[in-house]
A and B are shown apart, each in its own frame.
Chain A
Amino acid sequence: MSPVLIFVQTLLSGLLTGGLYVQIGIGLSLIFGVMRIINFAHGELMLVGMYLSYALFTIFGIDPFLSLIIVAPVLFFVGAAIERIFIQPVSRAKEENQILLTVGLSLIISNGFLLLFGADYRNVTTSYSGSVFYLGPISLSLPMSLSFLVTLVMTVSLYLFLMKSWTGRAIRATAEDREAAMLIGIDARRMGLIAFGIGTALVGVAGSLLDPIYYIFPGAGGPFTLKAFVVTVLGGMGSITGAMAGGLLLGVAESLGAVYLSSGYKDAIGLLLFLGVLLVKPSGLFGRSRL
């Protein structure tokens, strides 16, 4: 293939991966925007989605792309429960303590799965798991392309929800200025709960989307938590559009880096980008507070 084609191929693959990163990171950005909480258990919540989809596939034969209809609401309730039981009580405590609490939760969830399912690498192999389709000479993974579409739909839906619906606007108000929102009668605590639920649902769906193409094991969550942070910081904590841009940027950067630099250090690229943004423009490429 000509160098131009290689570049385009790399770029497109990167965008597809970026779509997944968007799906993973957008929930974290929403949660941070509304509650100012850094959720270190984010990747483990994705793991819940992964295992749930896996169970639905193995027991009932439901395809992950279909089971996300079940996964999303289940994860919403899981997130809401976690928020009410664990996060709420420490919302007044020091930031450091809140962070540590979520670290503790991440340990509980990932090791809980270790006990339940063992350390084995499992996977969900569907008829299309390895499939590829062609745009001319460029090959694109079918499941990842489908995931990209799902993410596109979900992100647009989220955007519309935040912009048009009353609850969505209330959530944005809470994110922008909590006290002002409370003054006009918005139940900020409830908004936080809903935001946490939505954020968890989004990342849970990411888990379903990952099932056909990635291994499912208890340690799978951790690296994605870090990726989610990179996405949110790149785009600006609390910014949905920023998370979209950040996710795509991360995907493309990793893809280009893997092909043109070194595949072993692929993950390091995102981290270095992350550190760079923290140093130069900590508010992210798109600033914050504008959901």
Chain B
Amino acid sequence: MKKDLAILFLALMIMIAVPLWAGEGFLLHFFILLLMNIALGTAWNLIGGFAGQLSLGHAAFFGMGAYAATLAHLRWNLPGWQGIWLGGMLSLLVALMLGWICFRLKGPYFALATIALAEVLRLVAQNWKEMTQGSEGLLILLPLFSHKSQFYYAALFITFVTVLAATLVRHSKLGYYLFAIREDQEAAESLGVNLLGYKLIALLVSAFFTALAGGFYAFYVGFIDPASTLTVERSVEMVLPAIIGGIGTVFGPAVGAVAITGLSEGLRLWFLSAHYLIYGVLVVVVILFMPEGILGSLGMFWRRKRRAPI
């Protein structure tokens, strides 16, 4: 635990200094996107990696956070942070329902159900025009902050809190219980682990932080619509950092996020719209050759080295 907290604080120190040299242009934007991907990947990893429940519909929480924050701002004139917080609260409610419905289902059915739920929300967002303007989307004309660096620090705060939560969970009873659930549900039950209860907690925490990031996204980009917030692509994007960096580790999603953001923004300069293709290749390659992810494989390699006779 101490080691992880030390790493976290070190990373925080490094990241705090970024706006001092990154300017206010594309480079800072890149770091903001990176932070968002770290937050989203880490949040997903709580339920998908730690607890082993593959959710392919997390866009539901992201979109909910984005829409709640935007609507709160546009219709009820709530200040930014309150809107984001409201999105978080709303996501807890939906997560509770989603979890209660889906956690009674095993493996692949759960994944399918999460996709179905996210899709239902997308259709609602698309058709409930009075509320959401449908496919036209919602525009926030008055930006929350005047300087990009302020957005950066907001993103840093959200990301820091998310990763801190993941670290605390990992080393707590909750964390160990989630790992047990992922390994062998029935064995865990025989040892007193309440499956539904702990899965729900993991999902609630995961949904909350995902929604926070969604709310931030809405204010940062200034425009949201169902196609940018509630699609399967968005859900898959949230899964990638953990898969590539190491499912079930605290910092794996962060490592994966660096890889993904680097690739997609780097490619955008040359390749334009093919970054999903690269994502697909990455997933296939990782699953085939390195299913533990970057950090996971490193961890196993380390373990083997330590045990090898001299």
Contacts and interface: CB of A to CB of B under 8 A. Distances in A.
Interface of A: 38, 86, 89-90, 93-97, 99-101, 103-112, 114-115, 119, 222, 226, 229-230, 233, 262, 264-265, 267-268, 271-272, 274-275, 278-279, 282
Contact of B120 (A105, A230, A268): A268
Contact of B119 (A106, A107, A226): A226
A233 B239 CA distance: 24
B127 A265 contact: yes
B120 A271 contact: yes
A111 B287 contact: no
B116 interface: yes
Contacts of A38: 108, 111-112
Given A93-B291, A104-B283, 20 more contacts: A94-B291, A96-B54, A96-B107, A99-B108, A100-B239, A105-B280, A107-B279, A108-B277, A111-B273, A111-B276, A111-B280, A114-B277, A222-B232, A226-B119, A229-B112, A233-B109, A264-B123, A265-B124, A268-B119, A271-B123
Size category of the binding interface on chain B = 35 or more
Contacts of B239: 100, 103
16 contacts: A96-B52, A96-B107, A97-B291, A100-B239, A101-B288, A103-B56, A104-B282, A104-B283, A104-B284, A104-B287, A108-B280, A112-B277, A114-B274, A115-B274, A233-B109, A268-B120
B280 A271 contact: no
B123 A268 contact: yes
A108 B109 contact: no
B277 A107 contact: yes
A115 B113 CA distance: 31
Interface string B270-310: 00011011011111100110010000000000000000000
Interface in B100-133: 101, 104-105, 107-109, 111-113, 115-117, 119-120, 123-124, 126-127
Contacts of A89: 288
A222 B280 CA distance: 14
A134 to B, nearest CB: 33
B243 interface: yes
Interface of B: 52, 54, 56, 101, 104-105, 107-109, 111-113, 115-117, 119-120, 123-124, 126-127, 232, 236, 239, 243, 273-274, 276-277, 279-284, 287-288, 291
A38 B54 CA distance: 13
A267 B116 CA distance: 10
A97 B276 CA distance: 19
Given A111-B274, A278-B109, A267 B119 contact: yes
A282 B56 CA distance: 19
Contacts of A267: 119, 123
Query: Would you list the 7 A-B pairs with minimal beta carbon distance, nearest first?
Result: A107-B280, A104-B283, A108-B280, A111-B277, A264-B127, A104-B284, A38-B108
A86 B124 CA distance: 36
A226 B280 contact: no
A151 to B, nearest CB: 24
B284 A105 contact: yes
Contacts of A119: 273
B107 A114 contact: no
A278 B105 contact: yes
Given A95-B107, A107-B276, A111-B274, A262 B283 contact: no
A274 B116 contact: yes
A93 B287 CA distance: 9
Contacts of B274: 111, 114-115
Given A108-B277, A265-B127, A282-B105, A275 B113 contact: yes
Contact of A278 (B113, B232, B282, B284): B113
B192 to A, nearest CB: 24
Contacts of B284: 86, 101, 104-105, 108
